[in-house]
Amino acid sequence: MKYYVISGETSGDNHAARVISELKIRDTNAQFRGMGGDQSEAAGQELIIHQKEMAIMGFVEIITSLRKIARNLRKVKADITAWQPDIVLLVDYPGFNFKIAQYAHNLKIPVHYYISPKVWAWKEGRIKRIKSYVDQLYTILPFETAYFAKHNVAVKYVGNPSKETVDEYLVANDLQLDKGLAHRGGIALLPGSRKQEINTSLPIMLEAMQNFPDYELIVAQAPGFDAAFYHAFDPNLKLIQGDMYSLLAQSDAALVTSGTATLETALMHVPQVVCYRMNELSYRIGKMIVKLDYISLVNLILDKPCVTELIQGDFNAKRVTKELNAILYDEQTKARIKTQYAELHGKIGTSHPSIEVANHIWQSISQNKTSPV
């Protein structure tokens, strides 16, 4: 079978790669093509566009990059038409992938969407487009399934891929981090996977870290960026690339840019401060559109403020220092976080989403191929 897979960010690349690997087990003649990153390519996908070409954040930045986005969209559409896949698998990245969903649907190619668009946060009008163009939607957050089912969308909760990968890491390394948050000696900095995020967040994080000389500072090096890029901020930075869980396993606390990393940090039982700053105009536009009380997945899933979120002007060295002191040294704060992290694990469950998605896709394709015309 021929699978056209599109992921647009580092986390999506990881999730897409795992599904590709699972599909290869079920389909020994599988071919994979599309847009993704290093992990999907290593899993066997032929890339016509590397996702680093599409690493754009913020409303203003998207507007200034519209020509590049449109060019890549045309390239993907033309490639789908020429290659004629048996299925299109879209992974997150809704702005781009919604357009591909409609295009593939019009070509009568089944469309499966893994990691459902956050239409519950904004753009509820997209529900109609999901119902029209997506044959099967896979959700990874517990509260999403009921929301989409209420709108009569074909939806399946498959568990959370971050929980899957964290559990595998803990088992492989014989770690039981939930048994206590003993002193590990490091503070992890996760400043994001986009150049703009890193340029904005890392200097503030490094300024705050000057107040914690007894801790080893460890920075997560994002795919697509070499060590020289980070060492321009500080030539003595210790970097870890491609092994974020190892970084977190040796950390007592973390400063994390909002995104999937906030959930992964919590699942690794590491107290954290969520830090996010973007172009001010983009932020103001977002505030008018997005209907959420929180920005971190941890707080969204728990529906309460488990981790502190420092956004825009609140994300400064003084506030970061204050919040880091609380999660490192205040026993009451540490106990509360431990309890709420355990609650988070329970809400997510223990299923294996990449296996669930691969099974469902394979069954769907197999049924379509054997169904009488």
**Reported pTM:** 0.76
Mean pLDDT of 10-30: 94
Sign of CA dihedral 236, 237, 243, 249: positive
pLDDT 10s digits, 171-192: 888 776 655 445 678 999 999 9
The pLDDT of residue 324: 97
Q: What is the pLDDT of residue 285?
A: 63
Most confident stretch, 8-22, 123-137, 181-195, 325-339: 325-339
Contact 320, 205 (CB under 8 A): yes
What pLDDT shows up at residue 161?
86
Asked if 164 and 171 count as a contact pair (C-beta separation under 8 A), the reply is no
> How do 136-139 and 155-157 pair as beta strands?
parallel
Give the list of residues 6+ apart from residue 5 with CB closer than 8 angstroms, or none.
16, 19, 20, 32, 33, 34, 35, 36, 40, 45, 88, 89, 90, 91
Q: What order do you get walking across the sheet with 308-311 strand by strand?
A: 238-241, 216-221, 186-190, 251-257, 272-276, 308-311
- Asked if residues 204 and 273 have their Cβ atoms less than 8 Å apart, the reply is no
Per-residue pLDDT at 282 exceeds 80: no
How confident is the model over 55-83, as pLDDT tens digits?
Answer: 655 555 566 567 888 899 999 999 999 99
Delineate the domains of the chain, giving CATH numbers in brackets.
Answer: 2-159+351-370 (3.40.50.2000), 164-348 (3.40.50.2000)
Tens digits of residue pLDDT in 285-311: 666 556 678 889 999 999 999 999 999
Closest to 139 in 3D by CA, of 124, 120, 123: 120
- Residue with tokens 């409609």, as numbered in its chain: 102
Q: What's the first-to-final CA gap in the chain, in angstroms? A: 19
What burial class does residue 58 get, using C-beta atoms within 10 Å of its C-beta: 0-12 exposed, 13-18 middle, 19+ buried? buried
Half-sphere exposure of 290 (CA within 13 A, CB side): 13
